[in-house]
Amino acid sequence: MAAYVPPGWPSGVHPPGSEDFERTAQAWLLDVVPPDYRLHGVLRRYPLTLATMAAHHARACVAGAREGYRNARTEVGAALPPHALEALLAAYRAEGRRLVATAQAVDLVARALRGEVFTPQLEDAAQPDGRRRTAERAPAQRPAGEQRAEAAAADRPATPQPAREQAPAQRPARDGAGKARKSQTQRPARDGGGSTRKAKRDQHAAAS
């Protein structure tokens, strides 16, 4: 089974742990750094020292490309026609991407020379609509605070609903008003003194 190499691994370098890994790594790193680096014997005897200097050199090149892109308009913009300036900026962008990729590859080789073992990274499967599936945490894996809150919610009794107030039309009549109406219905009608006058007429007729 072939050894795993992470994304961005340089194509000319054999996988870590293989027989030709250090030899191919050294040859590739010497192509990354300036030619004068080949004059230093320590870089040939110890590939890790070469990887360290190559990493510093690659990062410096990335920083230089970014600074050159920012200053291109002010340094040469007035001396170039517009189409030439745009071509120069496009070259800076292309070289910037290449230098960033090289710096990342040098970092991977240096980590492998230090003995780091790369393993495939498991990613969540994508849903049909393009979103990543988020696995729900099991209750035992949830924070203690969430578990206590769920337990309290499970033991909490249902909150009683407040009684609805009876509509005014359905309220019973108050005792005072009821008694007043009852007394009015039971009170005999006044005769205006008619019985008294009739008795006096009867007495007068008997005397005559």
- Counting the structural domains of the chain, the total is 1
- Per the structure, the complete domain to which residue 35 belongs is given by 21-113
Give the model confidence (pLDDT) of 123-169 as tens digits: 433 444 434 433 333 334 444 544 454 444 444 444 444 555 544 45
Q: Which of 52-56, 102-106, 138-142 has the lowest mean pLDDT?
A: 138-142
Establish if 198 belongs to a structural domain: no
Establish if 127 belongs to a structural domain: no
Establish if 169 belongs to a structural domain: no
Interhelix angle for 21-32 vs 82-113, to 10°?
Answer: 150
Establish if 206 belongs to a structural domain: no
Give the model confidence (pLDDT) of 6-35 as tens digits: 999 999 999 998 999 999 999 999 999 999
Give the model confidence (pLDDT) of 59-85 as tens digits: 999 999 999 999 999 999 889 999 999
Establish if 133 belongs to a structural domain: no
130 conformational bin, left if phi > 0, alpha if psi -120 to 50, beta if neither: left
Structure tokens at 204: 């007068």
Compute the distance between CA of residue 200 and CA of residue 53 in angstroms, rounded to an integer. 146
Give pLDDT, residue 134: 36
DSSP string, 161-207: PPPPPPPGGGSPPPHHHHHHHHHHHHSPPP-TTHHHHHHHHHHHHHH
**In whole numbers, what is the pLDDT of the chain averaged over residues?**
75
Tell me how far CA of residue 154 lies from CA of 147, 148, 150, 158, in angstroms.
Answer: 11, 10, 6, 10
Establish if 106 belongs to a structural domain: yes
Establish if 103 belongs to a structural domain: yes
Give pLDDT, residue 157: 44
